[in-house]
Structures are given as structure tokens and as C-alpha cells.
Chain A
């Protein structure tokens, strides 16, 4: 039996609905912490250290690879502390809301012709909608902590996330207009089968025509994940960690996983929207092999985008609140509107 028949045999097995649902939940539940670990280790610990001419963690495991696992174990052992005046239920639920919002994004990210948890007709729209749920969790955390720094952090976070959600959505519009669909799988296919003035050698990754959208998307993602230079909501030197200030142990770990899990998810969305996703422009897109090669191709592209995001993070100083709002409302949003109009004109003319 060749590998192809084994694979097609595996795919032909009829799995009952509840079993496939459990498998899918399990896959997502595994991917999110792994993604957070990989990003945390490769970029937060190692890349930042090298950029600052130091080694970073070296003791736990070879080259410090197990450092974050050790940190995770440490967090789980810590006492579960509630502030005396906290609103206990809301305080406990807040990190879960943030984490669930992160998990839900992964549901629609395709990594192969069949390797996707759920292929939705409204794919990218769904991903942006559920990513906006995390604001509710952050506001809950900021309020329930009964701490003025947490409250200020929560308010800053809400103001920032609302402001940058608009350029995020508007930047994606250009891609949607060009591809003519909201379905992430079809956006991947449109890029792999596209042609540049009749030449299909490298397909037509939308970063070539939507480079403005790509730039806006990356800036907005940086702000949506409250990473420096957009870290006003958690600024340690001003409000000692903002809405996270009262959280310890595994609840803090949830916020950490949420932040890096969301960064990974947005990097994956950027890879799908602008870099062609799991597909290569050569070969048959429905071939079963893409279910195995697809995740690898995706990972390479995601890490490339994540490297850009973290490069910004380690390079620029923090923006002031007014600079941050001015950048969103007076620069990014008008620019993305112009981008949509120009894309629309080209779509009609060509």
C-alpha cells in the first residue's frame, strides 16, 4: 500500500459527529499553548536577548528551551490569590473570557485542503468578530480587581482596542475585495491560482497588491495584542501591569497564553490573507500531501510574520495615549479607507 492510499483511507473513515468535535477541540486546545510557548521562547526570550547582546535563559534544557515550561510549572504551583475587595466571580472569569476568545480564532485558520477545524463561509469576518471578545475579558479584569491601576489599565485597553479594531477590519477589506470571498480557504486558493499580468509563476500573494493593507494590519495587530510600542494598557512603569496587576499563578498564565496565543493567531491570519497561507503556487491544491506539508509551510510563514511583529516590539519606545489615538483615527483609518477605494476601482476596471 502506498502512502497515498493509506492517507485517503484515513480521510475516508467516517467519524461520528461527537468524536470529530472532541478531536477538533483537542487539536485547538493543544495548538494554543504550543503556539504561545514557541513564540515566547523564540522571540520573547531569545530574539530579544540577542538584539540586546545577551544570551537569555541558558540553564533549563539545551539553550534554555525548557525555560517557559519551568515558568509554567512555577505559575501553577502558586497560591490562587483574590484581592479582599475583588468581585470574585467576575475576577475569576475574566482570564477565561480572554483565553476563550483566543481559542475561537484558531477554529477557522486553515492549514491544508482538509486540515481545518471548521471552514466557514464568513471565515475572516468570524475571526475578527471573536477576537474582539477579549476586550470584554480585559474590562472585566480591570473592574473586578478593585484596584485603581487595574481600572486605569482596563480603560486604556478598551480605548485602544476599540480604536485599532477599525483599521484591522478595514485593512482586511482590500484582500476580501480582491479575492471576492470571506472564506479563508478560498482566499488561499485565490492567491495560489492567481496570476500577475498573466504570469502564474509565484501565484499572486496579496502582499504584492495589498502592501498598504499588510502594513496597516501589522500595526493594528501590534496594538490589538497590547504589545510595545502600544503597551499603554499594561505599562509597567506607569500602572504596574494595568488590568493584570492583581493576577497571580495560573490566572496570570491565562493572560500570558492569551496574549501570545492571539499574536500567533493574528500572524497566522496575516500569513493566510497576504502570504498565500498553506499553499504553494505549484502543484495540485487538492492533493492529500498538502494536509501534511501545509502546516509546515504555514508555520514558516507565521514565524516570518511573528518575527516582524516582535521586531517592532523590541525596537520602538512606547507611544503616549494621544499619539496612539491620533495614529489610529487620523492616519491608519483614512489610509485604509483610501486603500479600499483604490482596490475597488482596480477591481471594477481590471
Chain B
């Protein structure tokens, strides 16, 4: 398991460093690009524990779509390269405090739940722990209700976004 530990260490270090740069850099474009590195790190961690489908989905959705929307929005609304004062905010200390509190809660919850859980590294037949077929089988049998609920929620959000955009256009 040593190789996995080393890989995890490197990926985690890069992710933490990039995540810090996301919030400390003054250039909003750079912040978005550092976020790309963080999200790629998440995908790499998913691959590391053998969740291929989730890892690839992470790349397709977050880097291929969400970040592209961020960049698109930044490019449409800003025109200068100068240091952007608006990225600084007078309420940044309460924000830091909230973020640290959230971090403490999440670490506590994760350690409490997964402290003694070990991934089974020796699956029969050298299979990856989770194939795409298994994911879809579970998604469409055991988790069919949450899956459909999420679909309806996304559809509602989509229609809501269109309604809001059209109203602004008319008024």
C-alpha cells in the first residue's frame, strides 16, 4: 500500500496548496484556474480508490462544464487584467472563521464514521472495486427514488433559471 500512500500524499499536498491559492490570489481568473487543479486532484483521488466512473464523471462535469461556465462568466463580465480589488472583502475574517468551523465539523464527522473502515484491496479476480455496471445497477434499483428526486430537482432548477432569465429580458 506504500505506493498508494505516496500518491495520496502528493495529490493531497498539491490540492491543499492550490485550494489556498484559490482564496488568496487577487486575480479572479487565476482563482478559477487553481480550482481546476483542486478538482483534478479530487478526480485523481477517486481513481486512486478505484472509483473509475466517479473519477471520470468528476472530470467531465466539474472541469469540462462547471469550470468552463465560471471562465465563461468571468470573461463576459470583466475586461481588465489589473488586480481586482473586489476579490477582497471587509467581512473576510468572519468568512475565515466560518470556513474553519465547517472544516472542524467535517473532519470530526469523517473521522468519527470512517476511522476503522478499511477498503478491501484484495477483491476476487483482480477486479476494480466498483465497475460502472455495478454503479448503474445500484442507482436504478436501490437508489431509484433519490435518483428520480434529483432529476426532478435539476429540471426544476433548469426551468427556474430560464424563467428568471426571460423575465429580466422583458422588463
A: residues with CB less than 8 A from B are: 85, 87, 90, 120-122, 125-126, 128-130, 132-133, 135-136, 139-140, 142-143, 146, 151, 154-155, 158-159, 162, 165, 182
Contact = CB atoms under 8 A, between A and B. Distances in A.
A154 B65 contact: no
B38 interface: no
Interface of B: 27, 29-30, 33, 36, 52-53, 56-57, 59-60, 63-65, 67-68, 71-72, 74-76, 81, 128, 131-132
Contacts of B67: 136
A146 B131 CA distance: 45
A135 B69 CA distance: 10
A23 B81 CA distance: 42
B60 A132 contact: yes
Interface residues of A: mostly helix, strand, loop or mixed? Answer: helix
B64 A133 contact: yes
A133 B75 contact: no
Contact of A132 (B52, B64, B128, B132): B64
A121 B131 contact: yes
Contacts of A142: 75
B64 A135 contact: yes
Nearest to B72: A158
A135 B76 CA distance: 16
Given A121-B131, A126-B52, A155-B76, 6 more contacts: A87-B29, A90-B30, A125-B53, A125-B60, A140-B71, A165-B64
Identify the 8 closest CB pairs spanning chains A and B, nearest first.
A132-B64, A129-B60, A139-B71, A129-B59, A129-B56, A135-B68, A126-B56, A122-B52
A87 B53 contact: no
Contact of B132 (A121, A128, A135): A121
A90 B68 contact: no
Identify which of B27, B29, B60 gathers the most chain A CB atoms within 10 Å of its CB: B60
B63 A122 contact: no
27 contacts: A85-B81, A87-B81, A90-B29, A90-B30, A121-B53, A121-B131, A121-B132, A122-B53, A125-B56, A125-B60, A126-B56, A129-B56, A129-B57, A130-B59, A133-B64, A135-B64, A135-B68, A136-B63, A136-B64, A140-B71, A142-B75, A143-B29, A143-B75, A151-B75, A155-B76, A159-B72, A182-B132
Given A129-B60, A130-B59, A162 B65 contact: yes
Given A121-B128, A146-B81, A158 B71 contact: yes
Contact of B75 (A90, A125, A132, A154): A154
